Amino acid sequence: MSNQWNSEPGTPLNGSAVPGADDRPRLGPRPLHRPEVDPHTAAVFGRPSGVDGAFSPQAGGHPTLGELKTAPPAPESLASAFGRPEGSQELLQRPPADEHGVNGVDPWDPDAAHDPWRDPSAGAVIGPPAVGPDRDGDGAKPAGKPAAKLLSLPEVLFGRRVKPTALIMLAVLALVIGAGGGIAAYFLVNRGDELYSDTTLAEVQPAKERPAGSVADIARRVRPAVVTIEVRTEQGTGIGSGAVIDSAGYIVTNEHVVSLGGAVTQGQKITVVFNDRRRVAAKLVGTDPKMDLAVVKVDADVSTVIQLGKSADLAVGDTVLAIGSPLDQADTVTAGIVSALNRPVVLGGEDGQPAAYDAIQTDAAINHGNSGGALVDSTGALIGINSSIISTSEEGGSIGLGYAIPIDDARPVVDSLIKTGRVNHADLGVNASSVSAETAEGARVQNVRGGGAAEKAGIKQNDVIRKVGDRVIANAAELIVTVRHYKIGDTVPVVLARDGRELTVQVTLQSD
């Protein structure tokens, strides 16, 4: 663009004359330069089609200012609370002020010198609350102003939004509910007897499982076959236990139970008390003091008979149950194991006293009153007759050392007592005592009975018997029980120690 000087000095650029203008040169306007517009740029930044001005036209043409609607009408509640008083022509509501204005100056007075609407540099004016010109100087309400209208209960509860018919229906519903509750209470109080009836609750299976072979199952099956035996004499009374071994009413027990430990031999009154508390008189069938066994019989219906087992099949550690009436506690079951087998027990001493047997040792609790009761295995079969214990107390309580007569040894004795009322045992014909020395250990022969089996075999006094058959003899008690395992008339080898040398003799056992 080039600069041009006006050819007529003193003339303005717009062509009007300026009086008194000097003849100085004037700079003329630059020519308008409009570069070509890129079509792509025009498509992005240009006005829409049909728009010539800077603003988009309104729908239906360009309305006048009076036709613009800036906002929807205010709700009636807001207009009533915050609108201008009826008949007011002011565009802005005037703030309240006292008769002298704020600080002596009315900010709404057009003649005020410090009008903030006319003086932009004036500070903001904070006046009293806009409560109108009816308030006096101290803010108290004029005495003549009428009180506000009081609200009714429906207006307070429901805010004037509930119809009277709805209130009536609500009241009726409340009455119906109350009446129904009263009627129900009446029937519950006056007809309460109907709550009780003869209804029987449904039976259910036991919650605890007791499989076959468990201790509970064994006890359930065996307990009815174990009885309490009461013995009364003029000398006193005693209580023991017994086991029903035959449906004819035969019951096996200990000899010391029916004889009160040897105090009586006849004339005793024996009563058997069954598991179901039946009491039946019993008769003594026979006794064997050397094996501490006895058999009594009852003439009554016997519902359960104990099964006889085989004590030879036992092993140390097998589970066993002792059932009886310890300390007059009838129908008692204790459990344990086989602690030992072939334990020689002699009651009353080692020198040929009445009772001796090759016992089963168990840790199942056995106390006074268990005598004659049943020792059963894990199948519930009778494998022993509880007979004695070892105790460290004067009362003779259990310390876990209990002994039972093996059923294999008791069976022939019981059979003989039931058939004949008496029993005989194999006998060696010697009296012996226990001996233990470096040179000899066994049973020392104290004397030899004349005409007995030992004398006929050549056994002499002071011989030490160390072995009978296949069993090593450690003491006198073991000698007695070993010989009783054989039958009368059996010939057995006996190993002796005599004068420092060992010899074997053949002995044919005789009857005792």
- Highest average pLDDT, of 68-72, 94-98, 404-408, 432-436, comes from 404-408
Active site members:
256, 292, 371
**Confidence tier at 350 by pLDDT (50, 70, 90):** very low
Residue 328: left (phi > 0), alpha (psi -120 to 50), or beta? left
pLDDT computed for residue 3 by the predictor: 44
Q: Which two tokens stand for residue 64?
A: 């006048």
pLDDT computed for residue 265 by the predictor: 75
Q: How far apart are CA 72 and CA 45, in angstroms?
A: 34
Give CATH 2.40.10.10 domain extents, the chain.
215-298, 311-420
Torsion angle of C-alpha atoms 463, 469, 472, 475, degrees rounded to 10:
-50
The helix, strand and coil proportions of the chain, stated in percent and rounded to the nearest 5, come to 20, 25, 55
pLDDT computed for residue 31 by the predictor: 80
Q: Which fold has domain 426-511?
A: Pdz3 Domain (2.30.42)
Q: Is the pLDDT of residue 231 over 60?
A: yes
**272 neighbors 280 (Cβ within 8 angstroms):** yes
**Domain 311-420: what homologous superfamily?**
Trypsin-like serine proteases (2.40.10.10)
Helices (H), 363-493: 407-420, 453-457, 476-484
Q: Which two tokens stand for residue 224?
A: 């009815």
Helices (H), 135-214: 153-158, 164-190
Q: Which two tokens stand for residue 10?
A: 């003193």
**Confidence tier at 351 by pLDDT (50, 70, 90):** very low
Q: Average pLDDT in the 183-205 region?
A: 66
pLDDT computed for residue 182 by the predictor: 85
Q: Which of 229, 173, 207 is nearest to 372 (CA)?
A: 229
DSSP 284-324: EEEEETTTTEEEEEE-S-----PPB--GGG--TT-EEEEEE
Least confident of 161-170, 223-232, 268-277: 161-170
Q: How far apart are CA 182 and CA 190, in angstroms?
A: 12
Question: Please, is 464 exposed, middle or buried when counting C-beta atoms within 10 Å of its C-beta (0-12, 13-18, 19+)?
Answer: buried
pLDDT computed for residue 69 by the predictor: 55
DSSP 319-374: EEEEEE-GGG--SEEEEEEEEEEEEEEEET-SSS-SEEEEEEEE-S---TT-TT-E
In the block, which residue shows the tokens 């906002």? 71
pLDDT computed for residue 393 by the predictor: 73
- Highest average pLDDT, of 188-192, 201-205, 462-466, comes from 462-466
Q: pLDDT higher for 349 or 276?
A: 276
pLDDT tens digit string along 92-122?
555 555 555 555 555 555 555 555 555 555 5
Q: Average pLDDT in the 308-321 region?
A: 92
**Confidence tier at 499 by pLDDT (50, 70, 90):** confident
**301 neighbors 307 (Cβ within 8 angstroms):** no
Q: Is the pLDDT of residue 7 over 70?
A: no
Q: pLDDT higher for 355 or 394?
A: 355
CATH class in words for 215-298 = mainly beta
Q: Which two tokens stand for residue 492?
A: 């057995």
pLDDT computed for residue 112 by the predictor: 53
**Confidence tier at 242 by pLDDT (50, 70, 90):** very high
pLDDT computed for residue 2 by the predictor: 43
